[in-house]
Amino acid sequence: MNNNYTIFKEKMSKIADINFATSVLNWDQEVNLPPNAAKIRSKQLATLSGLAHEQFTNNEMGDLLEDLSAKNGLSERERANVTEAKKTYIKYKKKPNAFVVKLSESVSKAYFAWHKAKESNDFSIFEPALNKLVDLKLEEAELIGFDDHPYDALLDEFEPNAKTKDLDVLFKDVKNQLVDFVQILAKQQQVEDKWLYYNYDKDKQWNFGIDLLKQMGYDFNSGRQDLSPHPFTTSFGASDVRVTTRINENDFNEMTWSCIHEGGHALYEQGLLIEDYGLPTGNAISLGIHESQSRLWENNVGRSLAYWKANYHNLQNLFGENLKGISVEDFYKSINKVQPSLIRTNADELTYHFHILIRYEIEKELIEGNIAVGELPEVWNAKYKDYLNIEVPDHAQGVLQDIHWSHGAFGYFPTYSLGSFYAVQFFDKAKQDIPGLESQIEQGNLLELLAWLRTNIHQYGKMYSADELCKKVTGKSLDFSHFMDYAKNKYAGIYNL
Amino acid sequence: MNNNYTIFKEKMSKIADINFATSVLNWDQEVNLPPNAAKIRSKQLATLSGLAHEQFTNNEMGDLLEDLSAKNGLSERERANVTEAKKTYIKYKKKPNAFVVKLSESVSKAYFAWHKAKESNDFSIFEPALNKLVDLKLEEAELIGFDDHPYDALLDEFEPNAKTKDLDVLFKDVKNQLVDFVQILAKQQQVEDKWLYYNYDKDKQWNFGIDLLKQMGYDFNSGRQDLSPHPFTTSFGASDVRVTTRINENDFNEMTWSCIHEGGHALYEQGLLIEDYGLPTGNAISLGIHESQSRLWENNVGRSLAYWKANYHNLQNLFGENLKGISVEDFYKSINKVQPSLIRTNADELTYHFHILIRYEIEKELIEGNIAVGELPEVWNAKYKDYLNIEVPDHAQGVLQDIHWSHGAFGYFPTYSLGSFYAVQFFDKAKQDIPGLESQIEQGNLLELLAWLRTNIHQYGKMYSADELCKKVTGKSLDFSHFMDYAKNKYAGIYNL
């Protein structure tokens, strides 16, 4: 019927092929790459990025979008695809191809520099590459343009439509309400969690993680799990969505939470419609919404008492010696211990947001030019002292702990907090909509919850913006009070407030 | 100095990026792909093939090659690159982009159909896809053009400049001389090899294989080994050359020979010059020369008594029970037992060529239109009866055993025999050039041999044709008498002729 829409769809699908090929190369880089291959792989990735960019910004695409924008007779879904693609087109057009290739090359180099710096605990190895990336990201912000703050232009890549001024309000709430609350908890008697650090056999942990993923409804016919130093989820299309995890034999937390967390991301990707492959409606809305899915599974489901009522028996069967005499309630408390810590990915679900707050403040100041890359270690350590009352012993566990800046991903971190806050608001609604959800979870039946997420969130892809979706699902925009109410209620029980 | 040569080099390098990305997707398909991902992966591969083809055949490349061909002042190596690239350009120009994409899609589909057909032992599942591929390959031969025989056009993809009429002569020699010789051996007392089929622990085999690769000089910093159903070598550039193997706990042969064989291929790829990445001189000459490297290591080194004098001690340490009381001489005889068998990849180094002879005859007849795809199982079984005196029990072990036809790779099989014959001729020369080579091998020192191969073969890439290289290294063209002399000499000892 509408021939140009078909051509548009095919072009988008072809671009997706290139982008997913890039993802395969990235996945392989994380999971399999031999040491000497880094340089060549960077170049291969840069070439593919350049090709995808070329295909998205050529005149044929411009003409198609022009024509389709003016056309009647498109369905709501088709209209959303044209509108979204046009936004991307306009944005990409502002970035010359040479810039895209240069950025991709610099990112690859910075990744390897970061890796080496972290290994050697030497920030100076990373510094020149990071300096270059900050310059390039500033250049990018200028190319894209912004109304209020250059950071808005960078945020937009990860959380479309998000604004620095709104995040300032949100993180002010975090600072005022959450910091206070954690101080109250710190004065209570601390929960015991020593059994989480006994020896947990690697293979048994692996198998336990696989079972948790299956229980969530993760489809192993359309994905697989592997090991990597930094757990992540990657999609090569909804029928091939892979997760990775890591295992620490002396810390039960690492595998468990990364497994459930990445599983939550993967369920979102597996729930996108394969028939919309390559189209905005076949892609996730934003990283914040993506993170709402991983956090909902990790925290609202995975760190609940109901969840462990279903799974603790199996866990005790596997690790009887470690958990002998520990009741499920004690276990539940132990996995929810609130304690300021060094490493973001290992943080409890409250102090986690202080880690994000710190990164948010640093990124803003970096982009504003108020601090230089060379000052990062010092600023980092001071903020950890200030917000978490923690001394950072070395840069590997400090400013070098996260991969994100090595990807040039400034504006990414705030989406982690957004995700946790969206998660609670969505989960509150799911509880209203699904009678007996808690007792389903207690029985290990998570599939009705998954179906609710598929129906209310996954299937739409980018048909709505994050804010539109949040309103559609919960009746209002993101509201931090959901998270604070959840936190107060949950931790009052655990800390006998 | 020569600006256009620099531009040409960059363009070739970019095309190589796309092609190596394709290789990563292919490797991942063999090693990691979840079942539901097959369809999307086919499409992604087809898109990349199309892009590489577009980049090689656009006007800019045509103009560059035109200009460089007419130019003086290029070095011999640069000249070879321009000449080779122009040949490829002219060939590619004959294939419309739509044809390339269609072929790539059909190949992916055929691969999965073959896989399913083999699993279900049902040729009819593969037949329609194979029919389609034969038609496409005939179309390709017409598009490319040929003087004598359409099969020449297909051969050229794998063995540039090879001609059907020369292969007819070669395989006539195989038929006349080798078939007779194997019949003589069959009348002798048979060697014992039962210990090769005792239980060999999977993990120990894996570790033993890794050690063999290291001993050969395979660089694990520029590669890795994984498991896959059909062992193969793949390169993503000389700094990332990967091998796969398979392990059968009840057959010592499978892992061992595939490991050494793929290791030989990988050494060639790792020995190409990284600074010639993407250029003809940075690529292997032909599959025949490639196979000469794998066969030289597998047969001339790996199946020699000297090699096992170096490695038998370790093997006995690992599998003492299986090899108790078996002398290295008995072991050597057992791994060289000549016995007609069903499966090409498990064949001894003499009857191996009957498997190739059969495939060569079938492919020629298929391309000539003398037999139809539907008749393949019957023709296959008759030829196995005729040449090897073997009844084929089912298609999975018969006509469906090899992956190649599912890739549309008609003209590929003959290169296996060419490789074995080149291998002997090269190895004869290496023995002349390296004093004491045999005693080096006996001591497990294989690095001087590797250096000889690097200097005389690997470093040149496509600077010479297969025939030119053979003449340069050995003083004459491929001469089957080298192989027959080697065979007669080796097996006279083993079979007490």
Of A393, A494, A467, A484, give the one whose Cα is nearest residue A162. A467
Q: Write the CA distances from B4 to A247, B11, B16, B147, B278, integer angstroms.
A: 52, 10, 18, 34, 16
Tell the burial category of A440 from Cβ atoms under 10 Å away from its Cβ (0-12, 13-18, 19+). Answer: middle
Give the Cα separation of A356 and A295 in Å (integer): 14
Interface of A with B in 34-53 (CB under 8 A): 34-37, 39-41, 43-44, 46-48, 51
For B261, what's the count of Cα atoms within 13 Å in the CB-facing half-sphere?
A: 21
What pTM does this model have? 0.87
| Chain-chain contact of A40 with B220 (C-beta, under 8 angstroms) | no
DSSP A260-290: HHHHHHHHHHHTS-GGGTTSGGGS-S-HHHH
B243 φ, ψ to 5°?
Answer: -120, 155
User: B222 — contact with chain A (CB < 8 Å)?
Assistant: yes
| Chain-chain contact of A51 with B47 (C-beta, under 8 angstroms) | no
- The alpha-carbon gap from A222 to the nearest alpha carbon of chain B, in Å, equals 5
Give the Cα separation of A396 and A118 in Å (integer): 5
Q: Write the CA distances from B337 to B228, B251, B302, B370, B461, integer angstroms.
A: 26, 14, 14, 36, 35
Give the Cα separation of B424 and B295 in Å (integer): 9
Q: What distance lies between CA B423 and its chain's CA centroid?
A: 12
Residue B345 has pLDDT above 90, yes or no: no
Residue B281 — very low, low, confident or very high, per pLDDT cuts 50/70/90?
Answer: very high
Work out the angle between the directed axes of helices A287-295 and A252-270 (0-180°, nearest 10).
130
Domains of chain A, start order: 3-145 (no CATH), 164-494 (1.10.1370.30)
Mean pLDDT throughout B44-50?
Answer: 91
| Chain-chain contact of B43 with A13 (C-beta, under 8 angstroms) | yes
Structure tokens at A65: 């979008």
Nearest CA in chain B to A17: B44
User: B410 — contact with chain A (CB < 8 Å)?
Assistant: no
pLDDT given for residue A290 in this prediction: 98
Q: Write the CA distances from A18 to B17, B187, B278, B408, integer angstroms.
A: 12, 59, 20, 24
Mean pLDDT throughout B322-341?
Answer: 96
Structure tokens at A465: 């913006």
Count interface pairs A-B at CB distance under 8 A. 112
- The alpha-carbon gap from A129 to the nearest alpha carbon of chain B, in Å, equals 23
Which candidate in B9, B26, B36 is best for mutational testing of the A interface (most A CBs within 10 A)? B36
Of residues B108 and B485, the one with the higher pLDDT is B485
Q: Which residues pair with A263 in a beta bridge?
A: none
| Chain-chain contact of A47 with B17 (C-beta, under 8 angstroms) | yes
**Number of CB atoms found within 10 A of residue A389's CB:** 10
A184 near A488, Cβ under 8 Å?
A: no
B261 φ, ψ to 5°?
Answer: -60, -55
Of A84, A53, A94, give the one whose Cα is nearest residue A161. A84
User: A116 — contact with chain B (CB < 8 Å)?
Assistant: no
pLDDT given for residue A116 in this prediction: 94
Give the Cα separation of B241 and B225 in Å (integer): 9
Q: Report the phi/psi class of residue A411: left, alpha or beta, with left for phi > 0 and alpha for psi in -120 to 50.
A: left
| Chain-chain contact of B21 with A17 (C-beta, under 8 angstroms) | no
A348 near A338, Cβ under 8 Å?
A: yes
b/e burial code for range A89-108 (CB count within 10 A of at least 16 → b): bebbeebeeebbbbbbbbbb
Which candidate in B15, B20, B23, B28 is best for mutational testing of the A interface (most A CBs within 10 A)? B28
Mean pLDDT throughout B197-204?
Answer: 97
For B239, which DSSP code? T
Interface of A with B in 47-106 (CB under 8 A): 47-48, 51
DSSP B270-310: HHS-GGGTTSGGGS-S-HHHHHHHHHIIIIIITTSHHHHHH
B475 φ, ψ to 5°?
Answer: 85, -5
Give the Cα separation of B341 and B360 in Å (integer): 18
pLDDT given for residue A2 in this prediction: 67
Give the Cα separation of A475 and A454 in Å (integer): 18
Give the Cα separation of A120 and A72 in Å (integer): 60
Which candidate in A11, A23, A42, A44 is best for mutational testing of the B interface (most B CBs within 10 A)? A44
Q: Is the dihedral of CA A475, A479, A483, A485 positive or negative?
A: negative
For B244, which DSSP code? E
Which candidate in A22, A31, A51, A55 is best for mutational testing of the B interface (most B CBs within 10 A)? A51
Residue B383 has pLDDT above 70, yes or no: yes
B302 near B435, Cβ under 8 Å?
A: no
Which of A37, A221, A223 faces B240 most closely, judged by CB atoms? A37
Tell the burial category of A163 from Cβ atoms under 10 Å away from its Cβ (0-12, 13-18, 19+). Answer: middle
What is the SS3 assignment for A143? helix
pLDDT given for residue A345 in this prediction: 85
**Number of CB atoms found within 10 A of residue B273's CB:** 15
**Residues of A in Cβ contact (< 8 Å) with B222:** 34-37
A236 near B44, Cβ under 8 Å?
A: yes
For B174, which DSSP code? I
Q: Write the CA distances from A91 to A8, A287, A465, integer angstroms.
A: 18, 18, 17
Residue B405 has pLDDT above 60, yes or no: yes
Work out the angle between the directed axes of helices A150-158 and A164-173 (0-180°, nearest 10).
80
Residue B125 — very low, low, confident or very high, per pLDDT cuts 50/70/90?
Answer: very high
Mean pLDDT throughout B328-345?
Answer: 95
Element (H, E) at B234: strand B233-235
Of A383, A344, A342, give the one whose Cα is nearest residue A366. A383
Of A330, A313, A340, A318, give the one whose Cα is nearest residue A255. A318
**Residues of A in Cβ contact (< 8 Å) with B220:** 34
Tens digit of pLDDT at every position of chain A (497 positions): 569 999 999 999 999 999 999 999 998 988 898 989 988 998 899 899 889 999 999 999 999 999 999 988 999 999 999 999 999 999 999 998 889 889 988 998 898 899 999 999 999 999 999 999 999 999 999 999 999 999 999 999 999 999 999 999 999 999 999 988 999 998 988 899 999 999 999 999 999 999 999 999 999 999 999 998 889 999 999 999 999 999 999 999 999 999 999 999 999 999 999 999 999 999 999 999 999 999 999 999 999 999 999 999 999 999 999 999 999 999 999 999 999 999 998 899 999 999 999 999 999 999 999 999 999 999 999 999 999 999 999 999 999 999 999 999 999 999 999 999 999 999 999 999 999 999 999 999 999 999 999 999 999 999 999 999 999 999 999 999 999 999 999 999 999 98
Q: Is the dihedral of CA B386, B388, B391, B393 positive or negative?
A: negative
Amino acid in the structure at residue A348: D
Q: Report the phi/psi class of residue B73: left, alpha or beta, with left for phi > 0 and alpha for psi in -120 to 50.
A: left
Give the Cα separation of B422 and B471 in Å (integer): 11
Mean pLDDT throughout B34-44?
Answer: 90
pLDDT given for residue A246 in this prediction: 95
Residue with tokens 């894996």, as numbered in its chain: B206
Of A360, A414, A400, A361, give the one whose Cα is nearest residue A130. A400
Active-site residues of A, by number, are 262
User: B385 — contact with chain A (CB < 8 Å)?
Assistant: no
DSSP A313-372: HHHHHHSHHHHTT--HHHHHHHTT-----S-GGG--TTTHHHHHHHHHHHHHHHHHTSS-
| Chain-chain contact of B24 with A28 (C-beta, under 8 angstroms) | yes
The beta strand positions in A149-245, using DSSP E, are: 225-227, 233-235, 241-245
| Chain-chain contact of A36 with B236 (C-beta, under 8 angstroms) | no
Give the Cα separation of B372 and A343 in Å (integer): 66
User: A210 — contact with chain B (CB < 8 Å)?
Assistant: no
Give the Cα separation of A235 and B491 in Å (integer): 54
Residue B42 has pLDDT above 90, yes or no: no
Give the Cα separation of A365 and A496 in Å (integer): 39
| Chain-chain contact of A41 with B240 (C-beta, under 8 angstroms) | yes
Q: How far apart are the first and last CA of chain B?
A: 64
Residue B2 — very low, low, confident or very high, per pLDDT cuts 50/70/90?
Answer: low
Q: In terms of residues, how long is chain A?
A: 497
Structure tokens at A295: 């956090």
Structure tokens at A191: 């929960």
Q: Which residues pair with B225 in a beta bridge?
A: B243
Amino acid in the structure at residue A268: Y
Mean pLDDT throughout B208-216?
Answer: 98
Of B245, B231, B243, B257, give the one whose Cα is nearest residue B202. B245
Name the average pLDDT for chain B: 95
The residue from B254, B262, B349, B363 that is catalytic is: B262
Give the Cα separation of A248 and A250 in Å (integer): 5
Structure tokens at B150: 């359409």
B76 near B464, Cβ under 8 Å?
A: no
